[in-house]
Amino acid sequence: MPDFSVIWENLPYFLWGRAYEGQPGGLLLTIIMALEAGVLALAAGVLLALAAWLFGGWTRRALFAAADFIRGIPLIFVIFWLYFLIPALFQAHLPDTLTVVLALAWFTSAAVMYSTLAGIEALPPGQTDASRRAA
């Protein structure tokens, strides 16, 4: 029979990390990073969708190309690129958790852009015209 005592003895660390010392970890850190990335992805995705909707032509094509590019790459590569590419290009080191949050947000914002744009374009022409006149 397997011995799971190591899991039970370290369960608080797996769940909270060292949160009482200011260093969240485990499940708590995962939830914090997911929420931060979700908020950033939602904001960026909606802004990108509005830009694609308002400005057609080359702007829209460039946004679609960038979104298709980032969605076509596995997320682990995006994290890898940000982790090693940003310090190489800008001589600035980002904290590990910030790198993961930015990669998740960048990756997810492309999907949010497509979903939001599809919702905007599904509106009847009368509502679309009214929203453009109100702004």
What gap in Å lies between CA 111 and CA 63, rounded to an integer?
12
pLDDT tens by residue, 63-93: 999 999 999 999 999 999 889 988 899 888 8
What gap in Å lies between CA 126 and CA 108, rounded to an integer?
31
Amino acid, res. 99: T
Residue 133 has pLDDT above 80, yes or no: no
Spatial CA neighbour of 14 closest among 4, 33, 24, 27: 27
CATH number among 1.20.1280.50, 1.10.3720.10, 3.40.605.10, 3.20.20.140, domain 33-134: 1.10.3720.10
> pLDDT confidence of 13, banded at 50, 70, 90?
confident
Q: Phi/psi zone of residue 38: left (φ > 0), alpha (ψ -120 to 50 degrees), beta?
A: alpha
pLDDT tens by residue, 28-46: 999 999 999 999 999 999 9
As a whole-number percent, the residues of the chain with pLDDT over 90 amount to 52
Tokens representing residue 90 in the block: 């800008």
Please give the model's pTM, rounded to 2 decimal places: 0.82
The overall average pLDDT reported for the chain is: 89
**Strand bridging mode 17-18 / 23-24:** antiparallel
23 forms beta bridges with 18
